[in-house]
Structure 1
Amino acid sequence: LLHPYILSQISPFFRLISDHIRSQTNSITFETELITMHEELSLPLQNPLYAGVVVVGGGLAGLAAAAYAARSGRTVTLFEKASQPGGRAMTNHRAGFSMNLGAHALYYQAEAGEVLRELGVPYSGKEPPSLFALSGDKLHKLPLSPLTLLRSTLLDAPAKLEMSRVLAAVMLANTQSLQRMSLQEWLEQHVRHSQLRALLLMIARLTTYTNAPELLSATLFIDIMRKAPKVLYLDGGWQTLVDGLRQAALDAGARIVTGARVVAVEHEERVQGVQGV
């Protein structure tokens, strides 16, 4: 049983989902056959009681999981509690404007871009010409390179000096030894200047869509700082990815059931099914 959390649209989790599907073809994930549901749940399926794979949640990760599993030849049913799939990747269109509910920029050179290419999901967009930070009532260009660091008006001289040391530490860090360290712990060890710490926390929130440095992996943040992946602001918003992944899952043979909230997983030694309301 695959249960992608609705916030798992962050790029590395795309790869986690697809790698799991590729490597677990003989595991319990694909052995469950019976889907037990409460009588209140009406499923518009030809054969609603049986599926080789059940995906709970129709966000980006759930749709990608369903597409990969169906492409592997499995019988796949995806349950989404909302009236339409997408989760926090949905886009609302109002008065000619597209407003993303959650994430707003796609790291197309990272894992998400690779998964979208594998599944044949088209998208287009533009890279932002410059990145700025708002401090007080002034905009400052983000110091993301040695040259912009020297010219930046966002940091004072001591913070700039410390940032040069921090960037060196990022490039030299042994990420294997940091697997169990949080970003918060890493910052406490390497960053003393409060202004610089605030900037790095802002970059972490911006690049990972996560405001929990005590839980965020230091390794993930360091990898992002090293790679400095480029982003796209998508034409039509993230809904284009939702629609593309939904179509990829359907084309592969997956069944998508909306308005079906799964509340429990029935299991003993192995998964027996799911219950919904």
Structure 2
Amino acid sequence: MTQNRNEPVWDVVIIGAGIAGLTASIYLAQAGQSVLLLDKGSHPGGRAASTEMSFARVNLGAHALFKSALPILQEVGVTPAGAAPKPPGSLVFEGTNGEHRPLPLAQLLLGSFLKWHEKTQLLRFYSRLLITDTSALHKVSLQTYLESQISSPRVRNVVLALVRLSTYCDDPGLISAGAVIEQLKHGQVLYVDGGWQTLVHQLAEQAQKAGVTIRTSSPAREIAGSYPRMTVTLKDGTQLKTRHALSTAGPAVTLSILNPPLSPAEAAVFEQLIPVRAACLDLVVDGMPQPKTKFVIGADYPWYYSNHSAVVSLSDHPAYAVVHVMKYLSSSGNSDPLQDQRELEGFLDLIQQNWRKHVVQQRFLPRMLVSHAVVTTANGGLPGRPGPAVEGRPGLYVAGDWVGSTGMLLNASLASAKEAARSIISAKEQDKEGVHRGA
């Protein structure tokens, strides 16, 4: 296929119809921009899509929505239905003989496992959290910061468990303490009724209502040119003319489709980003041996277990539940998928003995992409992430969980999508003013 002469010149072509792309498209279309939203998949959603498994909607690994993300979602007409899980009921520690030991959270705080001075350190850390000034901590690693604040290794591991829970990241030596503390301040999360696919459906509906054109099964091969004459070429050869291009693909994919490529210095900003991954065991079960055990995390191990159906509705079958088990992976890349799966199954054996008898369907995702970038100290923490406007390429913008100085995970995707849209709208308004002045 080639360029159709009747093909319009779009104000904005957006690559990627995940949550960032859909959100940006709504802001742009509501501001009167003509918007074409492309996705390589057969339907919108990206990593936010849920899978139908045995009458249940199962997310790609465990997903939680921070309540702090709600204002932007509500601005674009999306109101998620869901509920907040209770705090983890237990943490798993390593015993004196190397065995695994689940410890109820209440016993951790009230029992004898932690000494009095250790409990004091834990309480002091969390009591100071909301008033901690993070501006001086963006270039300090979490590991360094915790060692300066907490002398007890056991207490540091408790904090690291809660950090993994809120960031999905198991790289304390790399991740910025400032970014982590900002994330911990966000507090409560929601599990979403019907899975995250319901967010995708609502966003797609709002996008179409605003006038966005959505084309699925349309992978992009190239972004060429600069404002106001840009071309997006699809893998089938179709050429699309646009004034602005917004890529919500990851940094590596975005770099690979730019023509001409960015300069080495500009490309380095994208190339040095380190992805966050997790090994995910997603289960549809007909109950569990220990139904009261709903939420367990590892303190000395990077583990997560949660029965999401204990909180929200995910299945049409009244007896079926959706359970997520995860291992947060280090960026070292040393993990072995088969060993990770055995490790997660062993974790389940510990907290849900005979769980295999209850499995209706299961799926193992060995290296699920959680986020495109650890917020590292080396890059300057949150303020050091790439901005939505790509340097040296007028008219080219990016958005996603690796872009902008606000938030992590979904919050970063939403904030950067909004910022990219506002930048494009502002650029068009300034261009109009310039034309009027010239006239």
TM-score clears 0.5: yes
In the alignment, which residue of structure 2 is the partner of 1:67? 26
SS in 2 for 1:66: helix
SS, match of residue 17 in structure 2? coil
Moved over 6 A (4+): none
- 1:181 maps onto 2:140 in alignment: yes
Displacement of 1:176 after TM fit?
1.9
Provide the C-alpha distance between the structure 2 equivalents of 1:264 and 1:214, rounded to a whole number of angstroms. 36
Q: CA deviation at 1:168?
A: 4.5
Structure 1 residue aligned with 2:16:
57
1:90 is the counterpart of 2:49: yes
- Alpha-carbon distance, 1:103 to partner: 4.8
Letter in 2 for 1:122: T
**RMSD of equivalent CA atoms:** 3.0
Change (3 A) 1:244 1:174: same
Q: How do 1:152-171 residues align onto structure 2 when only pairs under 5 Å count?
A: 155=114, 157-171=116-130
Listed as ranges, the matches of 1:75-114 within 5 Å are 75-108=34-67, 110=68, 112-114=69-71
Aligned to 2:163: 204
Structure 1, residues 187-230: CA drift from partner, whole Å, max 9, x if none? 343344332333323222222334444554423321333342x2
Cα deviation code 1:144-175 (max 9, x no counterpart): xxxx8632677555542322332255344222
Report SS of the residue matched to 1:92: strand
Q: How many residues in Structure 1 have an aligned counterpart in Structure 2?
A: 228
**Match of 1:267, as an amino acid?**
G
Contact kept, 8 Å, 1:103 with 1:238, in 2: the verdict is no
Do the aligned residues in 2 keep the contact of 1:119 with 1:245 (CA within 8 Å)?
A: yes
Match of 2:206? 248
Shift of the 89–118 alpha-carbon distance from structure 1 to 2, 3 Å rule, reads same
Decide whether aligned partners of structure 1 residues 149 and 139 sit closer, same or farther in structure 2, where only a CA change above 3 A counts.
closer
Q: Secondary structure at the match of 2:221?
A: strand
* Structure-2 separation of matches of 1:139 and 1:161: 18
CA contact (8 A) 1:81 1:262 kept: yes
**Which one of the candidate residues 126, 132, 148 is aligned to 2:89?**
132
Change beyond 3 A, Cα 1:232–1:215:
same
Bigger mean CA deviation after superposition, 81-90 or 262-271: 262-271
TM-score, scaled relative to structure 2: 0.46
Distance 1:106 1:170, change over 3 A: same
The answer to whether residue 81 in structure 2 is matched with residue 117 in structure 1 is no
Query: How far has the Cα of 1:63 moved from its partner?
Result: 0.7
CA distance in 1: counterparts of 2:171 and 2:228, whole angstroms: 34
Counterpart of 2:298 in structure 1 is none
**Superposition TM-score, scaled by structure 1 size:** 0.70
**SS state of the match for residue 157, structure 2?**
helix
- Given residue 223 of structure 2, which amino acid in structure 1 is its aligned partner? V
Work out whether residues 125 and 233 of structure 1, in 8 Å CA contact, stay in contact via their aligned partners in 2. Answer: yes
Q: Does 1:261 align with 2:219?
A: yes
Alpha-carbon separation, structure 1, partners of 2:165 and 2:171: 12
Greater share of strand residues, 1 or 2? 2
1:115–1:166 CA distance, 2 compared to 1 (3 A): same
Query: Percent same amino acid at aligned positions?
Result: 34
Separation in 2, partners of 1:194, 1:185: 13
